[in-house]
Each structure stands twice: as structure tokens, then as C-alpha cells.
Amino acid sequence: MPDQVTIHWFRKDLRLMDNPALSSVQSAPHLLPIYILDIDRADDASIGEAGRWWLHHALVSLNSTLKGTLQCYRNSPLKVFEQLIQTYSIEKVVWNISYEPIESALDIAIQALLRMHHIEYETFNGTLLWSPECVQKLDGSPYKVFTPFYKKGCLGLPEPRAPIPQPKVFNLYASLTAKTTPEALDLCPRHAWHDKLQLHWVVSESAAHERLDDFIEHGLNDYKLGRNYPARDNVSRLSPYLRWGQISPHVLWHRMNDVMPSENVTHFCSELGWREFSYYQLHHHPDLNQNNLQSKFDSFPWSNDSNHLKAWQQGQTGIPMVDAGMRELWETGYMHNRSRMIVGSFLVKNLRIDWRLGMQWFWNTLVDADLANNSAGWQWIAGCGADAAPYFRIFNPVTQGQKFDPQGDYVRRFVPELALLPDQYLFSPWEAPALILKAAQVELGVDYPKPIVDLKISREKALSAFKSLKSSDAV
């Protein structure tokens, strides 16, 4: 007689606290926790390089919290469930929905398989504050603009449920058959780059909560203003934990309710709202990572110069604020939101490189690379998305630096070869007189690149490319 088990299928909910599916089966007599690395999608399309590193550590940490009982599989989920059905007498299967289109399709297939075998299953929402299908205009159509989406659509619905406490005990089922551990999934073969990431992140559920506590204590009180300054510690840096579900948005939302109301709290909640909006767009446009939401951009004359792309990726464009952002990404697997906008605008507008190439680089290098947020972020900065920054709004990386890195701390940290330049020339070293460059031990083209494009000329070229688009659109 095969062992009787209840299965919790971990997906992007690698946590015990506020895990609705897991809590629903906390009193099951034999709880088998599983994770499936989908072999059909275990390529760049489902998880980027930095994401694989994060996932590896998140699974190792989760397995240790579950006392080594997490059963991992490297196969197609459908095949894994067929195998589980052969091996065990399954009482029930539960999981939290992933709101990514391919995974939603997979859910339907798994549900059909379980139904065919008369196995009970239940799914939950542990990922979003408001399920996309619940948010709609009075006429039933989806929102296209963020503010009404959030203020009317989301805030008009009942408040997100309170977080579910972490279950005190589980009757975890320890399989006697040979078990695949997270390590055996071979998610992150040894790579020197990973050693760097290790310096910046503790990848565990408890680390996510510590980071939240720390942010509430030290960062939140000046969030609204301070979040614009990449050198300041006013953002939460919780994005990778949210992406992998080591902390839930419900926990964040309700912790904000517990602190004194302020414009900082309201603003932080609205940023969580942007995350909801990204998933909402992905729900309504499953091709968000491939196609321009505004189809007039389909004929945009991208330049796609591979040398320019390489210089951008390596933080060697000769534009200090852009290079600082790109090097922050390479050093830490994270980039501050202000810098994401600056480097994104520079790539798409000054270099006229297709936003999908920028998105791809972010996908592989960000530890928080998230299908919804990354695609929506790039469509937004390129101007081709829903409620996007207009194409003609081109960030000037020099004035952005002067305004948002006024003491130059951010640029000096990530572009140390310019550290001795006075603030006045730090963001535009090509304008510095020869004597000043010499005193700062900078020889342009030797110690630090000359700008790969002229900011003014490239801006004008971008604008005229955009105008040609509009006129050809009118034809």
C-alpha cells in the first residue's frame, strides 16, 4: 500500500509565513513539500542567471527550515505529477498560483490530470494583493492607466487579507526513497560572479523579515523623497525576496498599516501598487515581454549597434551616471530604481537600442528579475507601454546625476576611477579642463572612456526617429 500524503507544491512562494496554500494543509498527517524545476523551461526564458543563483540559495534555505524534507524534481511538472500519482496515495495537492501566463496554462493541465485521477486539489493567491481578474472598470474593461487602476480599481476593492501566521508544527513526510536535494538541481554551477552576489545578499525568509524591519526603522521615514537618490538607504531592497516569494506583499501591506500613517507609507504602498499593475498588464497582455503594447513602435528604426550594447552592459559608456548604474548591477545583482530609469532611457533613446535587448540583460543580471516588472519597466521607459513615460521624455544623465547624486557618492562608489574629480565635472568629465582632469589622475580614453555618443546629438536623433514614426503612422 503506497504511503498517503498531502502535497504542497512550492512555486514562487518559498516561505512559511503568510503562505495560504501551505497553511491550509498544516494539519495534514503526512505533508510532502515539493519543488519542481521545470526542465522544459529551465533555460533563460524562465529564470535568468542571477535568478538561478538566488533560487538555489532560497531552496537550500527553505529545505533547511523544512528539516531536509523538501523533495525537488528536475522535470516537466506534468511528468512529475504523473510519477507522484504512481508512487503515493495522494490525499490532496495545494499550491499558490503563479500569475505568469505559461505557468497559468500549466496549472490548468495539472488540475486536469489530478481531476482525472480523482485527486482533490486547491489553489490560492499568495502573490498579489488583488487578483487581476477582480480589478476592472465599471464597464468590465481593463484599466490602462496606473492611477485609476490603483486608486479606483484596487483601493476600491476590500483591503488585502491579513497575513496568515506561520504554522507552528507540520507533520512533514520524510520520503524514504532517494531524494533530490536543492543542491542536486544544479541551478548554479560555480561561477566567480556568484561570489560577488554572496557579499550583498542573505537569501532566506528570515533575512527578508530582518530587511523589512530595518527598512521600517531606518529607511521608511524619508521614503517618498529619499527613494529618488541611489546613494541613500531609503528603499527597501526587498524586490528579490518578493520575486521569489520569501516575503509576501500582504505582509508588507499590513506592516505599513501598523506604522504611523504618513506620505512615506502611502507612497510605499503605491509602489506595491505598481507591482500589481505590472502583473495586471501581464495578465491582459501575455506577450508583454515580446511586443510593444503600442503597436506604432513596431516600425521604430532601432540602431542596435552591438559595440554600443556591449559598452552599456559593461558600464563603459563614458557617461558616469549610466556606468555607475550598470556597474551597480554587475557588482550586486541589483540596481536602484532611479538608475534603472536612467540607464534604460539612455539605452533606448540615446543609443536607440531595442528595449528587448536591455530587458534581456536585466533578466540575466538582476536577482529580482521578474517577468512582469521587468517587461513592464522596459515598456514604460521605452515609451511603448501602457501609461508609459512619453518617448520624448529623455532622461539627461548629467542633470540626473547632479540632482539625485549631488555629492557624487553613488558615482564615486561604482566608478572609482573618477573619484578625484570635483563634483562639478563628475557627471560630465568630457567637459573638464585638461588641468582638472590631470589633477584627478584621469586621462579620458585611457582611465575612463570618452562618451560613446554625444548626449545632445543622440537626443535629437532619437526625437527625429520618433517623429518619423508618428508621421509614418499617420500615413
Ligand X SMILES: Cc1cc2nc3c(=O)[nH]c(=O)nc-3n(C[C@H](O)[C@H](O)[C@H](O)COP(=O)(O)OP(=O)(O)OC[C@H]3O[C@@H](n4cnc5c(N)ncnc54)[C@H](O)[C@@H]3O)c2cc1C
Chain residues binding ligand X by CB under 6 A are 227, 235-239, 242-243, 271-272, 274-275, 278, 337, 340-341, 344, 362, 366, 368-370, 373-374, 377-378, 381
Residue 222 Cβ vs ligand X, minimum distance, rounded to whole Å? 12
Residue 274 Cβ vs ligand X, minimum distance, rounded to whole Å? 4
Q: Could you tell me where the DSSP H helices lie in 91-154?
A: 101-116, 146-148
Task: Please say whether the beta carbons of 111 and 97 come within 8 A.
Answer: no
Residue 221 Cβ vs ligand X, minimum distance, rounded to whole Å? 13
CA angle 61, 63, 64 (to 5 degrees): 65
Cβ proximity to ligand X: between 9 and 334 the closer is 334
3-state secondary structure of 336: coil
CA angle 16, 101, 163 (to 5 degrees): 25
DSSP 173-198: ---SS----GGGG--S---HHHHHHH
In the block, which residue shows the cell 523623497? 225
Task: Please say whether the beta carbons of 158 and 26 come within 8 A.
Answer: no
Residue 272 Cβ vs ligand X, minimum distance, rounded to whole Å? 5
Cβ proximity to ligand X: between 215 and 466 the closer is 215
Cβ proximity to ligand X: between 81 and 330 the closer is 330
Task: Please say whether the beta carbons of 94 and 123 come within 8 A.
Answer: yes
Q: One of 274, 291, 417, 430 is an active-site residue; which one?
A: 274
Cell of 289: 515581454
Residue 275 Cβ vs ligand X, minimum distance, rounded to whole Å? 4
Cβ proximity to ligand X: between 107 and 328 the closer is 328
| Nearest in space to 51 (alpha carbons), one of 313, 380, 355, 374 | 374
Q: Which residue is nearest to ligand X (CB)?
A: 377
Reply yes or no on whether 130 is catalytic: no
| Nearest in space to 344 (alpha carbons), one of 28, 17, 329 | 329
Residue 375 Cβ vs ligand X, minimum distance, rounded to whole Å? 8
* Strand (E) or helix (H) holding 263: helix 263-284
Cell of 9: 507544491
Reply yes or no on whether 380 is catalytic: no
Task: Please say whether the beta carbons of 312 and 340 come within 8 A.
Answer: no
Cβ proximity to ligand X: between 51 and 77 the closer is 51
Residue 380 Cβ vs ligand X, minimum distance, rounded to whole Å? 6
Cβ proximity to ligand X: between 187 and 371 the closer is 371
| Sign of the torsion angle spanned by Cα atoms 17, 21, 23, 28 | negative
Q: One of 355, 361, 363, 380 is an active-site residue; which one?
A: 355
Q: One of 228, 337, 364, 430 is an active-site residue; which one?
A: 337
The CA distance from 30 to 4, in Å, is 7
| Nearest in space to 249 (alpha carbons), one of 107, 128, 396, 71 | 128
Residue 297 Cβ vs ligand X, minimum distance, rounded to whole Å? 16
Cβ proximity to ligand X: between 30 and 237 the closer is 237
Q: One of 82, 91, 103, 271 is an active-site residue; which one?
A: 271
The CA distance from 196 to 183, in Å, is 19
CA distances from 287 to 12, 376, 386 (A): 20, 11, 13
The residue type found at 105 is A
DSSP 55-74: HHHHHHHHHHHTTT-PEEEE
Cβ proximity to ligand X: between 227 and 283 the closer is 227
* Strand (E) or helix (H) holding 31: strand 31-38
Instruction: Say how many C-beta atoms besides its own lie within 10 A of residue 218's C-beta.
Output: 11
3-state secondary structure of 76: coil
Reply yes or no on whether 302 is catalytic: yes
Q: One of 350, 378, 380, 396 is an active-site residue; which one?
A: 378
Residue 382 Cβ vs ligand X, minimum distance, rounded to whole Å? 9
Cβ proximity to ligand X: between 242 and 324 the closer is 242
* Strand (E) or helix (H) holding 338: helix 337-345
Give the residue numbers annotated as catalytic, written as ranges: 271, 274, 302, 337, 355, 378
